[in-house]
Structure formats: C-alpha cells, structure tokens
Amino acid sequence: MEKIVVVTGANSGIGLALCDRLLSEDGRLRLCLACRNMKRAEAARAALLACHGDARVDLLHLDVGSARSVLSAAEELKARYRRVDFLYLNAGIMPNPTVDIRAFFKGLFSRNVINMFATAEGLLTQQDQLNSDGLQEVFATNLFGHFLLIRELEPLLCQPGHTSRLVWTSSSNARRSAFSIQDIQHRQGKEPYSSSKYASDMLSMALNKHKNQQGLFSSVICPGLVMTNLTYGILPSFFWTLIMPIMRGVNTNSCSGLSQHWLFLQKPESLDPRAKYQSLTSRLGTNYTEPRRMDLDDEMTEVFFSKLLELEREVRRNLSKKTTDSEHYQQYLNEIQ
C-alpha cells in the first residue's frame, strides 16, 4: 500500500531535503508538496523528478498563514486522497530577525558562546505583525495554521485500524521563557519565533494525549544548525563563514532532513511524546538522531490546547461572517446593476 506524505514548506531548505530523502527511501510513496509559492513549488517538483524519475509528486497551494487558504487546501486534500499517512508540519517564518550586536559580541567571548549560537538565547528578536485574519503572523504561520490543517484533516488522519503521523519542525530556540499562556500569540513580546516553536512542542504533546487512541501520533524534531533562508536572514553569509569554526565545537547537522527521515522509519508506539528528536553530527562527521527531553508542563499544555480550540471557533465564526457579508454585498451590486 502506497504511503501518502504531505510536507508543508517543501519547496526549499529542510522541506525539500526531506522530500529527496523520503523518495530515496521509498519510491512508491505519493508525495504532496504543500507550498505558498507555486512557482517555487513547481521548480522543487522538477528537481525531485530529475533525481527520482518514477516518483509521484503532487503540488498543493497552501499558505498556512491564512485560515482561508488552509481550509481551501484541506478541502483539496480530502478530494484527492482517502487518507494521509504522514503530515510534516515544516513551513515557518522568522520575519525581520534582528541581532543584538552588543549581546552578540559579549557572548562571543564568553563560556556561553556555544549555547548562544545553538539556541540564539538573548541574541535574536523579530518584528511581528497582524495577518488578514487579525492574528499575529508568526503564530498563525508557524503554529495555528498547522493546527487548523490538522483539525480539518482529521477524517484522513484518524481512521479505524490505521496509524497516521504528524512531525513538527521545531527548534532549539523553542524556549519556555519566551512563551506566555496569557499571551499565546506573543503580541506583547519580541521573540515570536521562539514562542511559536515552544507552542508547537506543547501542541504535539497535547495531540498525543487526545488523539493516540484514534491512531494519530505526533512527534517533534529539531534540525540542528542548518544553513537555510531563515538562517541567512539573521546574519549575512560572510558572517556565518567567519563563525563556523566556532560552531564546529557544537553538534550540528547539514540541511538534510535527517531527524524527519529517521522518524519516517520508526514505529510511533516506540517514540517518546515528551522528546524532541534532534539532528546531530559528531566531530567525526557521523550523522545521528538523539531524543532530548522537552521542558513541558502538563497542566499548561492542556490549558493551551483549550485556548487553541477556542481560537479556532472564533476564527471560523469570523470567516463565516466575512463570507456572509461578501455575499450580501455581491447581491446588492447585482440588484443595482
């Protein structure tokens, strides 16, 4: 039986590398690249088919930062497939990243230098904004859009006698200190990326608690230090060249989709729902995946899950109202013409 694998943000970086690895592992699977930019998605599909000529690679327009786009894409997926075996929740943004130069140079010559580069703790801030749904853009793109997609795809993900998998691309920058349960969208803070990634860690654990009995299992990965568009948006490429000798003291991984691919091969029942599976490379160049315990609180995770369900209802109401208002306006235009 062929596996149906959907990857969000699959047109470049970690997502594209993952797709290549998956097709190398199993040429019989059916792969769906769910991307916001369809031109780049078509280029990614062409690149994959150039290496895997017999592969089945579908394209789907999906902007996880737009609730309307998520709902439309979910309807398209339900029309195409009878089930989804793997849903890789990989798409994400880090808008206008700003480095605290003073903190950077202070940390550069301290004992904390490795941790600073590995987690960006105390180093990296971003400027966020509202999206068309009135949500914080980073929260909507990195977390809520994926949550809404999962909710819409439950008929394909939760089927009797069948196991489906969710795999979240998190980060070592996911820190509890950046997240507030009173401000889940991070409207008041300056670290929306870190907050959203910590939120995805919590959501993964909550989904396991609520959906494992229905055959849906969720896991979290950290890709390690990878050179992607997000990375080069933080510091220019020449700066990364200068500091990479320092980073050789850190276990890092190239942009290879290693831990995502490793999870593809595992039985979900054997995985720890509280672990983040980290892509690592030893100093001798050996790639491996290692589970690391996440700093999660059960009670706060449940409260967060409830808040997401409440927000989902609110967003759906607003979309319904907008649709109704648009229909009334169109009817008015038709009447006066």
Catalytic residues: 193
| Residues found in the chain | 337
R_g of the chain computed on alpha carbons: 20
Query: At what angle are helices 13-25 and 38-51 packed, to 10 degrees?
Result: 30
CA 59 – CA 42 distance, rounded (Å): 8
Looking at the DSSP bridge assignments, the partners of residue 33 are 7, 59
CB 280 within 8 A of CB 253: yes
- The DSSP call for residue 143 is I
What are the tokens at 54?
Answer: 């017999």
Place of tokens 């009173």: 182
β-pairing verdict for 56-61 and 86-89: unpaired
List helix spans (H) across 63-182: 67-80, 101-108, 113-119, 137-139, 145-152, 154-157
β-pairing verdict for 275-281 and 287-293: antiparallel
Cα-based angle 75, 77, 82 (whole degrees, multiple of 5)? 115
β-pairing verdict for 164-169 and 216-222: parallel
**Cα torsion 160, 67, 191, 115: sign:** positive
Cα-based angle 134, 138, 140 (whole degrees, multiple of 5)? 50
